[in-house]
Amino acid sequence: MKKKFGSWLFWSKPIPVHSIGPTNPHAFDAFADRLDELKAKARHELEQLSDLELRELRVGQAPEFADLRSWFSSLLGDEIKSLERNQPVWLAMGFGHPDVAADYDYWGKLSRYSVYEATMLSLGVEPSKFPEHQAHSAASQEEPTKMNPQMFHLGRQMRLFQGHFPVGPGGYMPVSPVWLKKLIDEIDLQVPEAFYSQLEKRTLAIRLPDDRPSQSLSMQERQSLLRLIAAMACEQYQFDPKATRTTAISSICEDLDRVGLSMDNKTVRKWVREAAELVPADYWKQ
């Protein structure tokens, strides 16, 4: 039987590791039933042979058994090839197929996630198991009529992330684990528990422990930091303390979120305004 079926002899229906997104387990049910049917037929045929004939099929090369070996070679050959050709693709099981399960022990250590990586990991799929160009192609399709439910779900998931990810000169910018967890929480997105746990660990890891010794800044160090803040706020965010309305503070808060260092508007405004007081008056006249 092993010689006839190879690894198919030990094949069993895959058990999904999670249930994120649509699935079609019936395709695997039909495949398993057909495989069982062929194995039963082969077993029935082999049971008609003598022990000597079975031994010859397994290890022998005797010329007088050439017809027997030829018969065995053709036994269910076309049926088994047809079965192999019609094996369901892993996507039919959905994104929880064990053969494409994401290695979250590895991906949980990354400092940044691209929009493609975030999409695949949020579905439970190892990014290397699915071509990136196909994911972007699915994201460009807004109608489900031209693709199966799994691909349509993948495309919608990627479009969802594309709508939130920051955009830079080179396209979608990678985001930190903290930023990604915050987005998942805000939009209440269902993701594999193993992925969310890793993001949660990273979020907790970057927070300073409460018992960390206090390290007060000297006056000189404090002034130096304020000068840095002033230069960045004024030159990069066009902050003007005399302006009645400004987008600088909200822009700074958004960038802090992107790098996983969230800070409320009130705190940002306090430090930026204090820093701006160090800027010479001539600068504001320019």
pLDDT in tens, 221-255: 888 888 899 899 888 998 888 887 888 888 898 88
Same domain, 126 and 178: yes
| Maximal C-alpha separation, the chain | 107
Number of continuous H segments (helices) and E segments (strands) in the chain: 15, 2
Could you say which of 205, 230, 256 is where a domain stops? Answer: 205
**Torsion sign, CA atoms 62, 68, 74, 76:** negative
Residue 61 tokens, joined: 């090369």
Asked if residue 237 belongs to a domain, the reply is: yes
- The range of the structural domain enclosing residue 73 comes to 2-90
Global confidence as pTM: 0.66
Same domain, 49 and 122: no
Asked if residue 181 belongs to a domain, the reply is: yes
Asked if residue 139 belongs to a domain, the reply is: yes
Same domain, 152 and 231: no
Q: Containing H/E element for 77?
A: helix 77-85
Structural domains counted in the chain: 3
Least confident of 44-58, 166-180, 254-268: 254-268
How many CB atoms neighbour CB 123 within 10 A? 26
Contact 233, 276 (CB under 8 A): yes
User: How far are the Cα atoms of 30, 37, 79, 241 from residue 44, in angstroms, in the given order?
Assistant: 21, 11, 16, 89
Residue 203 tokens, joined: 């979020």
Contact 257, 185 (CB under 8 A): no
Same domain, 7 and 27: yes
Could you say which of 205, 236, 253 is where a domain stops? Answer: 205
Same domain, 200 and 107: yes
pLDDT at 35 over 60: yes
What's residue 26's pLDDT? 81
Same domain, 137 and 200: yes
